[in-house]
């Protein structure tokens, strides 16, 4: 791309009204170091619109009690709102039944649930688990713990220099001992969108179930678990404009029923004696103890908010931002984009020659710009790209082209300081 083309601002042609959307997010009015906040760390956590904040306040003000227990008014209201939130999440990912939607504390707990509930029951010595180089540590470490406990083996799908999975190599990894596949939908470090539908079909043809880590995908693209035909799909509320401490595990009902419980306690049982305990039905079997009720209801409000805007409109605006930012950043001498996959979502990882990412992060912060610097909990990706760390700008639908310009100006300032 020539300098001329990249310096021209290619504004979105769509009717996406980003200023109206920004008005919903009180935190975006903040100033940081006397500069308007430019929040480009959405892949770590997104911000919360007033609608979700109001929903949390309303719940705590008018509706709170413990659920599935009391016969009193508030317990019935809270239970009904909690289960309504489950149905909202069911519709958001197009799950077949609401009992296939399990509330967890986040993606990490969702993956650990599958490791304990499915992996420890069905994966044994000599069995093989396929993961990819692009996985977040949350989809590596639980499987390593399982492999160590059971004597199972982990096989890893490699990537090319652009940060795309080598699908031929993926297919070659399958053999008679392959028992499970864990793959991220979108790479948190590079933004690559993986061809998971095809990967799932290939695994299913060999009778192998697939868990998809959707933490970075659910905020940026329409997820349809029935169309993907995945067995498990995990994602977090706080990356979806919802609260922290809440996440979702979607699981196919038959698989969830075949699994052992993850945590023991109240709500996950039908009857308890010291001789024998009978477990509750799904999803309650996997929701021991009092869940984060308000967070679940808040997440329900968040997916309502996102659905009202439309996930397709969100994805289109974010792609505009990514394309514009990629063009602009590529025009700066001495800046490299890490991760140039053909299909990418909302993540721009980059390196500035001669400047360590932590120095970039601190100096951008002085301009009010929030980016993530470090290994992004994806050290295998960093090792593969031969860098200790990168700087990462990650976009949400409430970001603007002007904020991209602020980032580009900030990077130029960093370069000036270091020359």
Partner 1 sequence: MADYKSLYQEVILDHNKKPRNYGTIENPSHHAVGHNPLCGDHITVDVVVDEGRINNIAFQGESCAICKASASMMTTSVKGKTREEAETLIQEFLAMATGKLSHENCPHIGRLAVFAGVSDLPTRVKCAILPWHTLNGAFNAVASTSTEAEEDPMHAPIGDA
CA distance 314 to 221: 8
Q: Which residues pair with 211 in a beta bridge?
A: 182, 232
Listed residue (230, 222, 285) closest to 252, CA to CA:
230
CB under 8 A: which stretch of 44-52, 108-116, 187-195, 370-378 binds partner 1?
370-378
**Residues constituting the chain:** 419
Vertex 146: Cα angle to 179 and 227 (nearest 5): 45
β-bridge pairing 372-374 and 101-104: unpaired
**Identified catalytic residue from 32, 56, 377, 387:** 377
Neighbours of 222 (CB within 10 A): 16
The answer to whether 232 touches 251, Cβ cutoff 8 Å, is yes
Cα distance from N-terminal residue to C-terminal residue, the chain = 25
Q: Which of 412, 402, 270 is nearest to 335 (CA)?
A: 412
Window of 48-56, 219-227, 277-285, 352-360 that interacts with partner 1 by CB under 8 A = 352-360
Neighbours of 307 (CB within 10 A): 14
For 279, other C-beta atoms within 10 Å of its C-beta total 17
Q: Which of 296/335 has CB closer to partner 1?
A: 335
Q: CB-wise, 35 or 150, nearer to partner 1?
A: 35
Instruction: Show the site string, 13-42: x = touches partner 1 by CB under 8 A, - = not.
Output: --------------------x---------
Secondary structure class of 76 (helix, strand, coil): helix
Q: Select the span of 170-178, 254-262, 321-329, 350-358 touching partner 1 (CB under 8 A).
A: 350-358
Contact indicator for 230, 248 with CB cutoff of 8 Å: no
Site for partner 1 (CB under 8 A): which residue of 29, 69, 91, 358?
Answer: 358
355 touching partner 1, by CB under 8 A = yes
In the bound complex, what is the minimum distance in angstroms from residue 41's beta carbon to partner 1? 13
Q: Which is nearer to partner 1, 251 or 380 (CB)?
A: 380
Site for partner 1 in 372-411 (CB under 8 A): 373-375, 379, 382, 388-389
Q: x/- binding map, residues 49-88, to partner 1, per CB under 8 A?
A: ----------------------------------------
**Which CA distances in Å does 259 have to 116, 119, 178, 240, 350?**
9, 9, 19, 28, 42
Per CB under 8 A, the segment of 75-83, 163-171, 270-278, 353-361 that binds partner 1 is: 353-361
> Does the protein bind partner 1 through residue 277 (CB under 8 A)?
no
Catalytic status, residue 230 = no
# residues contacting partner 1 (CB under 8 A): 18
Which CB atom, from 138 or from 363, has the smaller least distance to partner 1? 363
Chain positions contacting partner 1, by CB under 8 A = 33, 355-359, 362-363, 366, 373-375, 379, 382, 388-389, 417-418
Active site (catalytic) residues: 377
């Amino acid at each position: 791309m020539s300098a001329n083309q990249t310096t021209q601002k290619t504004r979105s042609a769509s009717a996406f009204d980003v200023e109206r959307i920004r008005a919903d997010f009180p935190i975006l009015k903040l100033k940081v170091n006397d500069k308007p906040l430019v929040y480009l760390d959405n892949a770590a956590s997104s911000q919360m619109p007033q609608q979700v904040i109001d929903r949390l306040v309303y719940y705590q003000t008018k509706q709170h009690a413990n659920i599935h227990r009391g016969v009193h008014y508030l317990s019935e209201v809270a239970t009904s709102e909690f289960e309504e939130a489950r149905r909202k999440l069911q519709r958001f990912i197009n799950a077949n039944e609401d009992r296939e939607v399990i509330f967890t504390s986040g993606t990490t707990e969702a993956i650990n649930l599958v490791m304990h509930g499915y992996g420890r029951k069905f994966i044994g010595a000599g069995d093989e688990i396929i993961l990819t180089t692009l996985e977040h540590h949350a989809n590596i470490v639980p499987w390593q713990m399982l492999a160590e406990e059971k004597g199972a083996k982990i096989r890893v799908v490699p990537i090319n220099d652009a940060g795309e999975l080598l699908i031929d190599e993926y297919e070659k990894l399958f053999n008679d001992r392959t028992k499970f596949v864990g793959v991220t939908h979108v790479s948190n470090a590079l933004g690559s969108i993986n061809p998971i539908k095809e990967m799932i079909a290939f695994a299913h043809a060999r009778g192998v179930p697939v868990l998809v880590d959707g933490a970075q995908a659910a905020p940026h693209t329409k997820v349809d678990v029935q169309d993907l035909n995945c067995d498990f799909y995990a994602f977090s509320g706080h990356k979806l404009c919802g609260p922290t401490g809440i996440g979702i595990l979607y699981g196919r009902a038959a698989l969830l029923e075949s699994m052992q419980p993850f945590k023991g306690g109240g709500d996950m049982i039908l009857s308890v004696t010291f001789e024998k305990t009978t477990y509750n039905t799904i999803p309650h079997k996997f929701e021991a103890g009092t869940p984060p009720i308000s967070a679940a209801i808040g997440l329900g409000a968040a997916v309502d908010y996102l659905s009202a805007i439309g996930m397709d409109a969100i994805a289109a605006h974010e792609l505009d931002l990514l394309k514009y930012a990629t063009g602009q950043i590529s025009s700066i001498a001495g800046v490299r984009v890490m991760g140039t996959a053909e299909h990418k979502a909302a993540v721009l990882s980059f390196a500035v020659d001669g400047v360590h990412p932590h120095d970039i992060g601190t100096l951008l912060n002085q301009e009010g710009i929030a980016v993530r610097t470090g290994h992004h909990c994806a050290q295998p990706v960093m090792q593969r790209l031969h860098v200790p760390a990168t700087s990462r700008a990650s976009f949400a639908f409430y970001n603007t082209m002007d904020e991209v310009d602020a980032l580009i100006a900030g990077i130029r300032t960093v370069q000036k300081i270091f020359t």
